[in-house]
Amino acid sequence: MKKTVCTIISLVMIISVFSACSKDDNTKNEQKTQQNITLDSHYENTDESAVRAYEKLCNAVIAGEKEVKFNISLIDSVNQLFYTCFPLYPLVESIDILADSSGVKVTYKNSDEEHLSLVSQFFDKIDTIKAECEYGKVNNDRYIFNVYTYITKNFSLDNSVLTTFDTVMQGKGYSAPICSLFEYLVLQGGGRASHILSVNSAEGIISYAEFKGKWYYFNPVLDIKNNKGNALTGFAMNDSRAGGSDFKYTDESPVDKVTDKAFDKLKNSKLYEMDGNKVNVTCGDNSSFVIEFN
């Protein structure tokens, strides 16, 4: 009898252990699939109902769901946010209004299994980059600097790679998705950033982000192309350095001009090195510049 009781107790303990492990695994999987749905900062004042519908659509795509219920009178705003702000949109073949107008049907380019695998791979890479950039360990300004320099040192230019998703997956891309990646990572870190266009700039599409309490232009492509990430010529630029004076957001509204010259010396930067909470920059005109972080 004692042997039987001991055996039952042992079995209960084993089942409990496996059950606990299963719960832990499920929790880890749930945490892994919970991603920040970011919004280009220019659109942060968009109607709340449209933002909620956009977030529902994004979460559905992450999960590979085929239908999303929301008020379709919001469809234009939702589509604008989805194709402007969400890097997984290239996995979607089409978004069509349901016959009963209760929401939309989402058709994917890949099989269910492949779709979920690609989503997981993308977010794994994003999480790896965030960790490399010390997300959660440094303040927001330092994180932005780390994101910029990570991209300039680890990504290359390739005009055949046209989306942020493919740029992340392949480690290379056209100028626009490289800048979009910079913005996305800044937003993922809790910062503010936007995608902007210039009619009269040679680069055409660059980033706009808040750094040390002020807005500047950022173009990591300049440093990828010209110095393999060794300098900071495209970091925290004003209108003059960015080569344009007619910047617009993706909805064609104008961008406030950037006249601040705090980081003007970086246009002549040649090398930089980290020194604790400081960045020592060597400039080509025999001068130096220091960026300090709190």
CB-count exposure of residue 80 (10 Å: 0-12, 13-18, 19+)? middle
Model pTM score? 0.88
Q: What is the structure's pLDDT at 202?
A: 59
Q: What is the structure's pLDDT at 35?
A: 67
Say if CB 118 and CB 166 are below 8 A apart.
no
What is d(CA 181, CA 207) in angstroms, rounded to the nearest whole number? 10
**Which residues 6+ apart lie within 8 Å of 191 measured at CB?**
140, 143, 144, 209, 210
Q: How many residues does the chain have?
A: 294
Please tell me which residue, 178 or 35, carries the higher pLDDT value: 178
Helices (H), the chain: 2-33, 48-63, 75-85, 112-132, 140-154, 164-170, 175-188, 220-227, 239-242
What are the pLDDT digits (tens) for 217-253? Answer: 999 999 999 999 999 999 999 999 998 768 999 999 9
Q: Is 15 helix (H, G, I), strand (E, B) or coil?
A: helix
Say if CB 51 and CB 102 are below 8 A apart.
no
What are the pLDDT digits (tens) for 128-170? Answer: 999 999 999 999 999 999 999 999 999 999 999 999 999 999 9
